[in-house]
Amino acid sequence: MLGPGTKEGDTEDIWTTIRTIYTGYLTPKSMEPGSILIVGVGGIGCKWSSHAHAKCQQLSEMLLVDADESSFSSEFEAHCLHLDAAGSGKGTAALPNLAAHRLNEGVANIQEMLKNSELVIILAALGGGTGSGAAAELAARSSESGSLVVSIVGMPFAEQPLRCAIADKAIPAIERNSDLCIRVSLERLAWQARHRESDWKLGSEWIGELIEGLVTTLARVGKMNLDLMDLRTIVGRPGNATLIVGNGAISDPDEVVRMARDSPLSEISIDGAKGCMIQVEGGPDMTLGHLNMVSEAFVSTLDDDCQVILGARASDDLVGRLRLVAVVSGL
């Protein structure tokens, strides 16, 4: 699969070779500034968004939505929608309907922003009032505006039955109004955070890596470019879908694939998937051999007739590294 006259270690003119093989995926096009919007809803959602936005702030806008004004203390520029603008200081009292009502009252302030966004990424932890109520309403409003909606939602700890009940009631509306909805187990997130010696409320790095991978895949021009049409094609397939990311040393492509497939936060097996959009990123030292090894190893357990859309990007800040970002559907 290296093509005529191409050796495993070749880097010179490697992207010319790729153009020859994958002509159909080479329309260099980047998304306009402001067309990707990262939205944090509720206290934890705002923390996750601030942490993720820090990794791709030049490629996206950020909107923070909460009833608690302290959630708006991000060090980066952000749009803010305060759901307690009257100043009662009572938040939303674990009442999703109240949060949804307050969002609707203030939605005129963000309507133009939603209209101008091609991709809206919503981050929220469910089980409280704001995340559970406002996230679903915001997903609906974004979808009505024509945006592609990706929601990443945290599911409560098992020992919190009331919060679990609120989350279970909220999730159907979020999934219904999202093109892709990823459930994140807060228990597994906390476990991973302890392993990495980080704060799970910041997303344990994994959520930041996930968002950065998706945003750079769509917003930066690659040698084999992927765009929103590719993403819509994959997430539009029947069944469940998920978004995963793995990264590691260029000397060990198998470990990159293993990290992506065995993400500790992914509760869905990707075996037998019917659709896959996969982006392989590396530095100028990434060869066609690396691209082949990573992509073939990853798709090897998917359905034999799986629709695979492949992209590739080289970046100087990934010298010595490989990163795999994939949206997998039809699960």
**pLDDT confidence of residue 171:** 94
> What is the reported pTM?
0.84
Q: What is the mean pLDDT of the chain?
A: 82
- Residue 59 sits in a domain whose CATH number is 3.40.50.1440
Is residue 125 pLDDT above 80, yes or no? yes
- Residue 289 sits in a domain whose CATH number is 3.30.1330.20
The answer to the question of residue 7 being in a domain is: no
Q: How many domains does the chain have?
A: 2
For 22-95, where are the alpha helices, taking DSSP H only? 42-53
Dist CA 85 CA 104 (whole Å): 13
Q: Domain check: are 134 and 180 in the same one?
A: yes
Is residue 25 pLDDT above 80, yes or no? no
| Beta-ladder partners of 309 | 277
Q: Domain check: are 180 and 67 in the same one?
A: yes
Q: Domain check: are 190 and 244 in the same one?
A: no
Q: Domain check: are 177 and 97 in the same one?
A: yes
Q: Which residues contact 313 (CB under 8 A, 6 or more apart)?
A: 216, 217, 220, 221, 222, 223, 224, 279, 280, 281
Dist CA 272 CA 264 (whole Å): 19
Final residue in a domain of this structure, among 213, 237, 264: 213
Q: Domain check: are 59 and 195 in the same one?
A: yes
Q: What range defines the domain where residue 155 resides?
A: 36-213
The answer to the question of residue 219 being in a domain is: no
Final residue in a domain of this structure, among 180, 213, 246: 213
Is residue 203 pLDDT above 80, yes or no? no
The answer to the question of residue 4 being in a domain is: no
Q: What is the pLDDT of residues 243-278, one digit of tens each?
A: 888 889 999 999 999 988 876 566 678 889 999 999
Q: What is the pLDDT of residues 187-197, one digit of tens each?
A: 877 776 666 66
Average pLDDT of 26-32? 44
Q: Which residue has the tokens 């990823």?
A: 182
Q: Domain check: are 175 and 255 in the same one?
A: no
For the chain, where are the alpha helices, taking DSSP H only? 14-21, 42-53, 96-106, 111-115, 130-144, 161-176, 186-196, 206-219, 228-235, 253-261, 288-299
Per-residue CA distances from 84 to 22, 91, 110, 182 (Å):
52, 6, 16, 28
Q: Domain check: are 154 and 247 in the same one?
A: no
Which two structure tokens, joined as six digits, stand for 126? 């469910």
Q: Domain check: are 199 and 241 in the same one?
A: no
Q: Domain check: are 171 and 238 in the same one?
A: no
Q: Domain check: are 123 and 152 in the same one?
A: yes
Q: What is the pLDDT of residues 207-228, one digit of tens each?
A: 888 888 888 888 876 667 788 8
Q: Domain check: are 233 and 104 in the same one?
A: no
Expressed in angstroms, the distance from the first to the final Cα of the chain is 28
The answer to the question of residue 8 being in a domain is: no
Is residue 148 pLDDT above 90, yes or no? yes
Final residue in a domain of this structure, among 187, 213, 239: 213
On the 0-12 / 13-18 / 19+ scale of CB atoms within 10 A, 21 is: middle
Q: Domain check: are 70 and 184 in the same one?
A: yes
Taking the mean position of all CA atoms in its chain, how far away is CA 137? 19
The answer to the question of residue 311 being in a domain is: yes
